């Protein structure tokens, strides 16, 4: 425990996202290592009011503010203009090339954190890689978990935003034909729908394959752990990711994970054929072969090795320790 270090994580976003969950995962572990506060809205946790924030920012204490979005960085830079003397850390959560404005904000930070090897190498701004960690006390296997209103015995899960970049079209084209032959299997897609038109496109694939009774669309939920626990297989078919917390959380819950190769952190998290399965992005045929082999037990379930990988290398405890090293370096 470093009694002289004060860390404030910010969150200015009304909707819950992977960024939200990543902060919630690491905060309890950070609190074991230093004095830690949460400031903002749209996130679970004990938050400090603006009056207390200002007292800390304008004090002579060793204060580090850790921001995750441009609007948060802007707010903290304004306090700097007013004379506050804290250190500013910003995490770049996207894998895409940042805009000129975002680059400007990142460069005004005292330290930039990236999440994956590719982000670390390609950002072209000095940065430190600290991967997200999973709360391994919350995201745990539970083979007894059942989902209400899902009649099938076995579940394939896809969690996250429902949008074209997340690859649900590829998923359905690959899985729907397999469901026709495996009536005791269901596909459950959980997440907020960006565009209703895209959801209708997905439902058209379901209808074409006549598997309406085996495919479930569920709105985003705060109880995502239960879905991971109830699923035998989790598919992460996205074309692009910042990190891919879904992949790590599913592995922590003992799912056999099938994910796109070289997208986000997938290829760092998963050793193919050992802790999960990787397939080429947008490759329906390859994904269908994997799903067919898993459903028919031609390939082994890898949930136990997936859980072990997260416990050993991707825990929130490990992330917190690495972040504190970043914070202390600036002291």
Q: Do residue 286 and residue 323 come from a single domain? A: no
54 in any annotated domain: yes
Residues 302 and 323 in one domain: no
Q: How confident is the model at residue 66 (pLDDT cuts 50, 70, 90)?
A: very high
Residues 278-292 have pLDDT tens digits of 999 999 999 999 999
247 domain residue, yes or no: yes
Are both 319 and 292 inside the same structural domain? no
Better-scored residue on pLDDT, 281 or 222: 281
pLDDT of residue 288: 98
Phi, psi at 117, each rounded to 5°: -60, -45
**Whether residue 159 is found in the same domain as residue 305:** yes
Q: What percent of the chain has pLDDT over 70?
A: 100
Range of the domain at 81: 2-133+315-329
Split at pLDDT 50, 70, 90, the class of 64 is: very high
pLDDT in tens, 234-271: 999 999 988 889 999 999 999 999 999 999 899 999 99
Asked whether the beta carbons of 58 and 26 are under 8 A apart, the reply is no
189 with 265, same domain: the answer is: yes
194 shares a domain with 286 = yes
- Given a cut of 80, whether residue 331 has pLDDT beyond it is no
3-state class (DSSP) for residue 265: coil
In a domain, 291, yes or no: yes
Do 106 and 160 reside in the same domain of the chain? no
Alpha carbon distance 148, 157 (integer Å): 15
The reply to whether 161 and 238 lie within a common domain is yes
* Same domain for 126 and 200: no
Positive or negative: CA dihedral 113, 75, 70, 160: positive
18 belongs to a structural domain = yes
- Residue 145 counted as domain residue: no
- pTM for this entry: 0.90
Do residues 154 and 232 touch, judged by C-beta distance below 8 A?
A: yes
Residue 74 has pLDDT above 90, yes or no: yes
Asked, for residue 232, whether it belongs to a domain, the answer is: yes
Is residue 125 in some structural domain? yes
Structure tokens at 295: 């459903």
- Judge if 176 and 246 occupy the same domain: yes
**Per-residue pLDDT tens digits for 149-203:** 899 999 999 999 999 999 999 999 999 999 999 999 999 999 999 999 999 999 9
Q: Is the same domain home to 283 and 324?
A: no
**Beta strands 87-91 and 111-114: pairing type?**
parallel
Q: State the pLDDT confidence band at 57, using cuts at 50, 70 and 90.
A: very high
Largest Cα–Cα distance of the chain, in whole Å? 67
Residue 163 in any domain: the answer is yes
Q: Could you tell me if 300 and 158 lie in one domain?
A: yes
Coil, strand, or helix at residue 13?
Answer: coil
Confidence of residue 38 (pLDDT cuts 50, 70, 90): very high
> How many domains in the chain?
2
**Residue 150 near residue 186, CB atoms below 8 Å:** yes
CATH number for the domain harbouring residue 297: 3.40.50.2000
């Amino acid at each position: 425990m470093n009694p002289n270090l004060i860390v404030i994580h910010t969150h200015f976003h009304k909707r819950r996202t992977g960024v939200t969950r990543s902060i919630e995962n690491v905060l309890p572990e950070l609190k074991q290592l230093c004095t830690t506060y949460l400031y903002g809205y749209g996130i679970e946790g004990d938050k400090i009011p603006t009056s207390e924030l200002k007292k800390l920012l304008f004090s002579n204490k060793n204060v580090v503010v850790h921001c995750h979005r441009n609007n948060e960085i802007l707010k903290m830079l304004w306090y700097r203009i007013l004379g506050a003397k804290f250190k500013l850390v910003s995490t770049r959560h996207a894998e895409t090339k940042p805009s000129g404005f975002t680059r400007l904000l990142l460069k005004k930070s005292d330290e930039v954190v990236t999440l994956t090897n590719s982000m670390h190498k390609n950002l072209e701004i000095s940065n430190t890689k600290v991967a997200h960690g999973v709360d391994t006390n919350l995201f745990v296997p539970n083979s007894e978990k059942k989902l209400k209103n899902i009649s099938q015995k076995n579940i394939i899960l896809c969690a996250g935003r429902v949008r074209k970049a997340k690859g649900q079209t590829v998923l359905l084209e690959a899985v729907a034909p397999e469901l026709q032959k495996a009536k005791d299997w269901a596909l459950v897609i959980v997440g907020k729908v960006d565009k209703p038109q895209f959801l209708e496109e997905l439902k058209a694939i379901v209808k074409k394959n006549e598997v309406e009774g085996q495919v479930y669309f569920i709105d985003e939920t705060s109880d995502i752990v239960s879905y991971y626990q109830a699923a035998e297989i989790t598919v992460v078919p996205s074309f692009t990711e910042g990190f891919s917390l879904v992949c790590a959380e599913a592995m922590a819950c003992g799912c056999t994970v099938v994910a796109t190769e070289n997208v986000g952190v997938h290829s760092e998290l998963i050793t193919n054929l050992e802790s999960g399965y990787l397939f080429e992005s947008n490759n329906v045929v390859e994904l269908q072969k994997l799903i067919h082999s898993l459903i028919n037990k031609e390939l082994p379930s890898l949930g136990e090795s997936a859980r072990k990988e997260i416990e050993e290398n991707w825990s929130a405890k490990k992330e917190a320790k690495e972040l504190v090293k970043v914070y202390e370096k600036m002291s």
